[in-house]
Structure formats: C-alpha cells, structure tokens
Amino acid sequence: MKKTGIFSGSFNPVHIGHLALANWLCEYESLDEVWFLVTPQSPLKKGLALLDDKIRYQMVEKAIGDYPKFKVSDFEFSLPKPSYTIDTLTKLQKAYPEHLFHFIMGADNWLLIGQWKDYETILRNFPVIIYPRLGCEVIIPGNYPSVRQVKAPVIEISSSFVRQAYREGKDIRFFLPESVRHYL
C-alpha cells in the first residue's frame, strides 16, 4: 500500500515552506509521496480573498514540476463547498483504495481541531502528521495512536506574508519558486 501524505490548503500562493516541508516528510518520515490538495474554500477561513482555484492549482503544478514524489490534486474542486476534511479523506479512501492516506496539518491547526467537522473520526481513522509551528504546543491525547508530531524544520513563511511582501513591493524571489512568481 502506498503511503501518501495529503497536504491540503489554499496555497494562495504555494511557497518554498510548503515544498520544503513536503520534501522533508518524504525523505525523513517515509511517505512515498505527497499530494498537494488545492482547497477551494476552507470552512474556518471564510472571507479569505483567494486567487481563482485554477490559478492556484496551476501555481502548485508549476512549483512541483516533474518531482516524482509530489502530485497536485483538484479532488476537492468537485466536492460541495466548503470543503470538510472528513468528507475529502473518506472520498479519497474510496476512490484510491491502494493508498494509505496520511493527513498533514500544522500545529496551529491542531490547536483548532475541536472545531473541525467530525474531527474524532479523522483522528481515529486516518494517520495524522502534525508539523511544528512557532508558539504552538502540541498535546496529543493517548487515545489517538495514529496521530503524531514530527520534528520537521520550522519554516515560518506563510502565504499571507508572501502576499503582503508582494503588495509592499518587496523582492520575494527566494520565498517562491521561480515558476510561481509570475502568477502574482
């Protein structure tokens, strides 16, 4: 069974932090691959101004290039909005039974997990990988043995930081893959 990480997000825009983390998870946490699942609308981020879904998909596609361990997915584009992780993971599992899906989330989202739809079902039925974020202490209850925090490098670059720096006319060439900068 292929161990596939699901890295879900708006990727508005995708940046080097996303790519470095995904690469680290493949190389140091034994994932066979990472799917970048471009999310049309997160229920906890209503009102966030997003670039068009297809543009964000194309940015990720360009960013990952032909790297064999990464894949971009528009799986959620055909699902009802907003996108709920439990629905996506359940449908992915049915569509791709040859994959063991590991859901990748930041420690900042872990602190909000109690607000997620059917979060206990996610934690019981899917391996969850939590990557560190500054200022976020992760405590994992013992009744969720498939949830684990990894000691990935902390890369504090966010899409909102990149967008703000771009609006301010800053040189952001080292925060974004070259193939993505022209989309902004």
Range of the domain at 168: 2-181
Largest CA distance in the chain: 48
How high is the pLDDT of residue 44? 62
The number of distinct structural domains making up the chain is 1
- Looking at residue 109, which CATH number applies to its domain? 3.40.50.620
pLDDT at 48 over 70: no
**Cβ neighbours for 38, distance < 8 A, ≥ 6 positions apart:** 9, 10, 11, 53, 56, 57, 60, 72, 73, 74, 76, 77
Asked if 11 and 145 touch (Cβ cutoff 8 Å), the reply is no
What is the average per-residue pLDDT within 111-115? Answer: 95
- 5 SS3 class: strand
- Nearest partner of 71 among 101, 42, 109, judged by Cα: 101
How high is the pLDDT of residue 58? 97
Listed in sequence order, the DSSP H helices in the chain are 16-28, 53-64, 85-95, 107-110, 119-125, 159-167, 178-181
How high is the pLDDT of residue 65? 95
CA distances from 137 to 32, 108, 120, 133 (A): 28, 9, 20, 8
What end-to-end distance do the CA atoms of the chain give, in Å? 38
Distance of CA 8 to the CA centre of its chain: 3
How high is the pLDDT of residue 181? 86
How high is the pLDDT of residue 184? 78
Degrees to nearest 5, angle at CA 114 with 144 and 161: 105
Distance CA 92, CA 140 (A): 25
Confidence band, pLDDT 50/70/90 cuts, at residue 47: low
